[in-house]
Amino acid sequence: MREGHIAVVGTGYVGLTTGAALASLGHRVVCADADPHKVARLRRAEVDILEPGLPGLVREGLDSGLLEFGQDTPAAVTGAGVVFLCLPTPMGAGGAADLAAVEAVAAEIRAVLPAGCAVVNKSTVPVGTSERVAALIGRPDVHVVSNPEFLREGHAVHDFLHPDRVVVGAADREAGRRVAELYAPLGAPLVLTDPASAELTKYAANFFLAMKLSFANNLAAVCERFGADIGDVTTGLGHDPRVGAAFLQPGPGWGGSCLPKDTHALLSICEQAGVEFPLLRATIETNVEHQRQLVDRVAAGCAGPDGTLRGVRLALLGLAFKAGTSDLRDSPALAIARALRARGAELYAYDPALCETRPDLSDLLTLTDDPAEAVTGAAACLVLTEWPEFRELDWTRLAGLLDGRLVHDFRNILDPARLEAAGLSWQGIGRTAALTT
């Protein structure tokens, strides 16, 4: 390994995208992961993550010789000028971020880090983690830098190579500038700050996005009450540059790999610091309540004679937390599925991204490879992920397979007129068929 290379520890969404993208910019990158099976597949350019452009970027890096993969983390970081920690920080007890993986790697590599090396926290971590990692490494000649990621699943490669900002937090200004220089070819605005500010920026960004989604879902309920159209209302809001159109689309609640754990982690560190943050708490509670109301809506439309969903078959279209990914982590679709199952419903589901990966969800639902199989005999159909192909389904054929007539479009992606022409009853969120046809 050449001296001064970049090491990336962890090859999940963030780590693999970071490593492959930096290699595409001309840097020599060594990615380390503890999973030998994953390392072997990546060495063959076999990427298990559903992420547009990432397999090609990995293949290009391998072919150029600028990208390597290994299982030995200490060997990967030996001689590195910059080491990115891209490790999982899942929600732990009480909502706090679990830093076990970050701490374990910091302890593992501290003795082999070269003098002057910058260790970069790329993972989403609580305020104060840079100091914590620096203490674990215990090397005054090694600098810990915070460089949070702002990658959207399904757009991670694009977001890395076309960032709207780069945030770098460092107690040592020179180490911070060295990390910032890696992104210089991208021409993005740079925020060079202290570690605590950088760490908090990531949490603040995800909380604000979650707040907008909770706001949109609440606003949709208001629209339904007064016969307004949520699409028109949010379009009117989105044209205001102070508001912006992003994250104003109502849905089955927010979820995924970031927003739930990051909002809970921020709430946890605020509670530990004695800081009241009622808006954050309300954002989380609103999400839970919104999902409960959607489940109540489904139950009201197809409950059995006993008033429950016991034995009622329901079809779920989409399980991933959003289109463009196969990620099921904290998926709102699964949250709603669990609530329906708890009320006795029998669930059959289809998601185009899961036909190959086939995750084991047998304790919750029956996963099918065909939307027709999922809807056959169902009392109602729920659209839970905004896959574009759901718009193009043969709804006339599906109507003949459904027992019931009701389609709950919890993503507002279907054409109500088309469904009604097929003899189905369409229900969106914050919209009525009359307003959308």
CA neighbor of 262 nearest in space, from 18, 95, 148, 120:
95
- Separation of alpha carbons 411 and 406, rounded Å: 15
The torsion angles phi and psi of 49, rounded to 5 degrees, stand at: -80, 130
Q: At what angle do helices 259-272 and 195-226 cross, to 10 degrees?
A: 120
> Quick one: pLDDT at residue 435?
47
Residue 60 contacts by C-beta under 8 Å, 6 or more apart in sequence?
Answer: 20, 23, 24
* CA dist., res. 175 & res. 119, Å (int): 9
Distance CA 33, CA 117 (A): 20
- What pLDDT is recorded for position 237? 97
* Residue type at position 197: S
Strands 166-170, 143-146: parallel, antiparallel or unpaired by DSSP?
antiparallel
Which structure tokens are listed for 120? 């970069």
210/285 Cα distance (integer angstroms):
11
Examine domains 6-193 and 194-437 and report if their fold is the same: yes
Burial of 60 (0-12, 13-18, 19+ CB in 10 A): middle
User: What pLDDT is recorded for position 2?
Assistant: 41
pLDDT tens sequence for the chain (437 residues): 345 799 999 999 999 999 999 999 999 999 999 999 999 999 999 999 999 999 999 999 999 999 999 999 999 999 999 999 999 999 998 899 999 999 999 999 999 999 999 999 999 999 999 999 999 999 999 999 999 999 999 999 999 999 999 999 999 999 999 999 999 999 999 999 999 999 999 999 999 999 999 999 999 999 999 999 999 999 999 999 999 999 999 999 999 999 999 999 999 999 999 999 999 999 999 999 999 999 999 999 998 888 889 999 999 999 999 999 999 999 999 999 999 999 999 999 999 999 988 999 999 999 999 999 999 999 999 999 999 999 999 999 999 999 999 999 999 999 999 999 999 999 999 997 554 44
- Per-residue pLDDT, 307: 81
Q: Residue 316: beta bridge partners? A: 349, 382
Structure tokens at 275: 């800081």
Looking up tokens 């009392």 gives: 379
Domain coordinates in residue numbering, the chain = 6-193, 194-437
Alpha carbons 193 and 12: distance in angstroms, whole number:
26
Per CATH, the number for 194-437 is 3.40.50.720
Q: Give the residues across from 166 on adjacent strands.
A: 190
**What is the H or E stretch that residue 169 is in?**
strand 166-170
DSSP 197-260: HHHHHHHHHHHHHHHHHHHHHHHHHHHHHHT--HHHHHHHHHTSTTT-STT----S---TTTHH
- Give residue for tokens 């600098």: 143
Instruction: Say how many C-beta atoms besides its own lie within 10 A of residue 246's C-beta.
Output: 9
Asked whether the beta carbons of 88 and 101 are under 8 A apart, the reply is yes
Residue 433's pLDDT is 57
- Closest among 323, 390, 358, 324 to 53, alpha carbons compared: 324
No. of H helices and E strands in the chain?
A: 17, 14
- Which of 120, 127, 143 lies closest to 29, judged by CA? 120
Burial 361-393 (b: 16+ CB within 10 A, else e): beeebebbeebeebbbebbbbbbbbbbeebeeb
6-193 CATH fold: Rossmann fold (3.40.50)
409 in helix, strand or coil? strand
What is the per-residue pLDDT for 304? 82
Instruction: HSE, CB side, 13 Å, CA atoms: give it for residue 166.
Output: 22
Give the residue numbers annotated as catalytic, written as ranges: 258
